[in-house]
Amino acid sequence: MTDYALKAENITQKFGAFSALKNVSFDLKVGEVHCLAGENGCGKSTLIKVINGVHRPEPGARIGFGSGQSAGHITPSDAKRNGVHVIWQDLAVFPDLTVAENITFDSFVASPLKPVGSRDRKRRVNEIIARLDIDLDPDELVGNLSIAKRQLVAICRVLDADAKIIFMDEPTASLTRKETESLLRIVRRLSAAGISVVFVSHRLAEVLDVCERVTVLRDGNLVGTYPTEGMSQKKLSKLMTGMDVHEEPRGPQTFGETAIEVKGLTRRGEFADVSFAVRRGEILGLTGLMGSGRTEIALTLFGMNKADAGQILLEGKPVSFGSNKDAIAAGIAYVSEDRLNLGLIQNQSIINNTAITVLDDLADPPVFLAPSRLSQLCTSWIARLKTKVSDPRLPVSVLSGGNQQRIVLAKWLATNPKVLILDAPTVGVDVGAKAGIFEIVRDLAATGMSIILISDEASEIHTHADRCLILRNGRIHQQLDPADVDEEKLEELINA
Amino acid sequence: MRNLSAKWSGDRIELAAMFAFLAAVILFFSIAAPNFLSLGIFRSMAFQLPELGLLTLAMFIPIIAGGLNLAVTFSANICGLAAAFVVQSALMNHGIVAIPAALLISIFTGLVIGMLIGAMVAYVGAHPILVTLGAMILLRGIGETVTRGGDISGMPDVFEVIGHGSLFGIPVPMIIFLAAVGLCFYIMQFTKLGFSIHMVGSNPKAALFSGINVNRVLVWVYGLSGALSGLAGFLMLTRFNSVRVGHGESYLLITILACFLAGANPFGGFGRVLPLAVGLISLQVIASGMNLMGASQHLATVAWGAFLIVVMAVRAPFQTKS
């Protein structure tokens, strides 16, 4: 007989006329590691919030913890009493407090008059750190820690609050492979101690092998709960999206003349002696771990940073950029990896976000920027890139990740670039929408645009790049034809 | 339904709401103060409003750009002072020439002060509150030193034409204010600069990555703000026939509130010129109406505060959440 840590049945959650969850059931065994999977907007977060007591589901729901009574809904204090904790993606740690202060924060709130540095607290912090066998200095300021270490602080904090069920929202999204592995090791340790962990993720490969079961949601419906044994990433994608996402490798192509060439490009502390060339119509994959220099090279090509040495040649002519404005004028476009903060101005309209790169072209005469020309531009790109937009005057933030990325592409394609740099173009884009983005990218290459595709996802590089450069510590470590290796081998080379 | 709601979204609702508030205020005073609805009252309002109005426009543009310009009132004083100094030392007996000269000197001085502030905000990267607070205190100190805390008075008689004259029955200060409103409306809605100001106000980093020269935009933002302050300084000079450093100081916080009253987003990026102009007229109607009812000026300040709070409270549920 299995012991359940949590059983939730018949959960329906409505927001107005919209049903975010439809009759969903979810259970969790004691000490189990469970994966909650689904695309953005499928109801994952809503389900967590129901279990956490934030939302009250429709009548008919049954939620119970351990051997206790089940109830129609949970209050936040029920959740707390039963040891339910959520570590959200933004972690919600306090950067100006020390590791120890962060970890004991909840008990500090409970008894605020007790001195923060009391011996009892220090002992508890050391105990938890020892229990997880991790390297964490209790007196360090959290603001000085890497994301991976902040995550450990967040985990320690819920352990200090006596967590029995931990939900982790996209815990691996900003971790390197090594950091992910050490996180998974800690999760196994928690599980062995009888704590249940739920991973919420849409980057699946890495969590599949640590999870015992996976529950898949789609559009608020429960698709099913499956054992992970025998579950492949492909099969899981299909369950999540409801469609067969299958992309053919590009195969041999013919290219035009060299569009951009880089010779001995160096920027101290970032990258050194980088040389490569991209021809018209070619997709060059640029890959490597975070910090390997991939984004830094892109920012220098885009004129944001100056190189210390080396040369950039556009169509054979040496160029030098005073700012990214010069780079844009010369025909270089850069799709940032950080769509939320750098790629788009989230609270401005879809129209404004599309037009922002081409104000000089739209203003005619130069002192008059006609609103009608802005909306015409936007409408035509929405149609060309088949973007789903109900009203282009709405803030761009209302769009899904995939559609937002199409607007980013639109704003750069409007500048008529010769070289398009795509930095992690599918971050936060659903599995189904990824294929659509790459379809556009391939079409662009077919028109003779040179594309530099920066990604740390081996499958993307393998499927879409014609040639691939692997960066390591700011230098080109290896150049290869993706067709010569299989995906697993490429993954290994990137992460080595 | 969807079309209708989209058509009536945002800007239009904002403007309609401000007109509704204005109508309500006029209605109230035409009942409470029997002789309120007379040409004389409206003329006197049209002479008083422009000072606060121009200073509010000068505050509005930096707010849209995600900043603030606390130096607007003392910029106006310094600009007036510069114009008065030049006029008194060289143009006392040159008749009408003194007017365009004083106007240009005021605006140019304001532009320079503003651009220096803008350069500090842009290139030093200090927070606009700190930079403009420093500038405010610096300008006040300079002004008080130069004037020894007193007035500079005795301008040529032709200044009357601007400060107290009318054109086709409309007071000249009002014409100047309306022209400034028109210019700001045009710049903010129909130029690359206006577009860029909104984008920089929302997210300067993303604007930079999109190829907008954020630093240059900021220099222009504060330059425009300074030029508008200079225009306000010129008006004060012509209306009072004198300059006193500190004149208009009490308007400072009201200009900030008036911007938010008209729907400017405190975090930058959003806000329209026309609702701002209508909101300002409401404030003036309240002040004049109270005055007419025999209430003290201090009571009018109470009414302004109350009005601003009421409008905020009524608006809150409709304000677009970011």
Question: Does B205 contact A357 at a Cβ distance shorter than 8 Å?
Answer: no
Number of Cβ within 10 Å of residue B160's Cβ equals 14
The confidence score (pLDDT) of residue A245 equals: 63
Question: Does A369 contact B203 at a Cβ distance shorter than 8 Å?
Answer: no
Residues of A in contact with B203 (CB under 8 A): 341, 345-348
Question: Does B207 contact A345 at a Cβ distance shorter than 8 Å?
Answer: yes
Q: Which residue in the set B10, B192, B202 is minimally distant from A345, CB to CB? A: B202
Mean pLDDT value of segment A140-165: 88
Instruction: Give the long-range contacts of residues A389-395, CB within 8 A, separation 24 or more.
Output: A389/A350, A390/B2, A391/B2, A391/B6, A392/A349, A392/A350, A392/A351, A392/A354, A393/A349, A393/A350, A393/A351, A393/B6, A393/B9, A393/B10, A394/A349, A394/A350, A395/A346, A395/A347, A395/A348, A395/A349, A395/A350
A17 vs B: CB within 8 A: no
A372 vs B: CB within 8 A: no
Residues forming a β-bridge with A33: A197
A304 vs B: CB within 8 A: yes
Question: Of B197, B195, B226, B191, which Cα lies nearest the Cα of B214?
Answer: B197
Joined tokens for residue A205: 């490969």
Contact B148, B246 (CB under 8 A): no
| CA dihedral of residues B190, B192, B196, B197 (deg, nearest 10) | -50
The whole-angstrom separation of Cα A324 and Cα A45 is: 38
What count of CB pairs under 8 Å joins A to B?
76
Please report, rounded to a whole number, the percentage of residues in chain A having pLDDT higher than 90. Answer: 44
Ranges A124-138, A160-174, A329-343, most confident: A329-343
The confidence score (pLDDT) of residue A68 equals: 78
Model confidence at A459, pLDDT cuts 50, 70, 90, reads confident
Distance of CA A388 to the CA centre of its chain: 21
- A284-307 pLDDT per residue, tens: 999 988 778 899 999 999 999 999
| CA dihedral of residues A211, A213, A215, A216 (deg, nearest 10) | 80
Residues of A in contact with B205 (CB under 8 A): 341-342
Going from N- to C-terminal start, the domains of chain B cover 37-249
- Is the confidence at residue A20, as pLDDT, over 90? no
pTM over 0.90: no
State the smallest CA–CA distance between residue A89 and chain B in angstroms: 20
By residue count, chain A amounts to: 496
Residues of A in contact with B210 (CB under 8 A): 345, 356-357, 411
Contact A307, A300 (CB under 8 A): yes
- Is the confidence at residue A113, as pLDDT, over 80? no
The confidence score (pLDDT) of residue A202 equals: 64
Count Cα atoms within 13 angstroms, Cβ side, for B228: 31
Radius of gyration (C-alpha) of chain A in whole angstroms: 25
Q: Which residue in the set A325, A367, A393 is minimally distant from B213, CB to CB? A: A325
The whole-angstrom separation of Cα B9 and Cα A395 is: 12
Model confidence at A108, pLDDT cuts 50, 70, 90, reads confident
DSSP character string of B223-292: HHHHHHHHHHHHHHHHHHSEEETTTTGGGHHHHHHHHHHTT--TTSS---HHHHHHHHHHHHHHHHHHHH
Mutate to test the interface with A, among B11, B189, B198, B209 (most CBs of A within 10 A): B209
Bridge pairing between strands A165-169 and A84-87: parallel
Joined tokens for residue A444: 């662009």
The whole-angstrom separation of Cα A129 and Cα A150 is: 13
Question: What is the C-alpha end-to-end distance of chain B, expressed in Å?
Answer: 24
Domains of chain A with bracketed CATH: 4-241 (3.40.50.300), 258-495 (3.40.50.300)
By residue count, chain B amounts to: 322
Number of Cβ within 10 Å of residue A477's Cβ equals 15
The confidence score (pLDDT) of residue B6 equals: 41
The chain B residue lying nearest A370, using CA atoms, is B190
Tell me which residues of chain A, numbers 315 to 334, contact chain B at a CB-CB cutoff of 8 Å. 323-325, 328, 334
The confidence score (pLDDT) of residue B5 equals: 41
- Is the confidence at residue A146, as pLDDT, over 60? yes
Q: Which residue has the higher pLDDT, B184 or A109?
A: B184
Mean pLDDT value of segment A113-121: 71
Mean pLDDT value of segment A410-420: 96
- Is the confidence at residue A349, as pLDDT, over 80? yes
Q: A7: buried, middle or exposed (CB in 10 Å: 19+, 13-18, 0-12)?
A: middle
Coil, helix or strand at residue A317: strand
Name the residue type at position B282. Answer: S
Question: Does B203 contact A341 at a Cβ distance shorter than 8 Å?
Answer: yes
The whole-angstrom separation of Cα A89 and Cα A79 is: 19
- Is the confidence at residue A73, as pLDDT, over 60? yes
The confidence score (pLDDT) of residue A14 equals: 85
Bridge pairing between strands B166-167 and A258-267: unpaired
H or E element in which residue A215 lies: strand A213-218
Dihedral sign of CA atoms A175, A179, A181, A184 in order: negative
Ranges A152-166, A402-416, A418-432, most confident: A402-416
The confidence score (pLDDT) of residue B132 equals: 96
The whole-angstrom separation of Cα A458 and Cα B193 is: 43
The confidence score (pLDDT) of residue A116 equals: 60
Please report, rounded to a whole number, the percentage of residues in chain A having pLDDT higher than 70. Answer: 97
C-alpha angle B125-B131-B134 in degrees, rounded to nearest 5: 150
Residue ranges, chain B, pLDDT below 50: 1-8, 321-322
The whole-angstrom separation of Cα B261 and Cα B265 is: 10
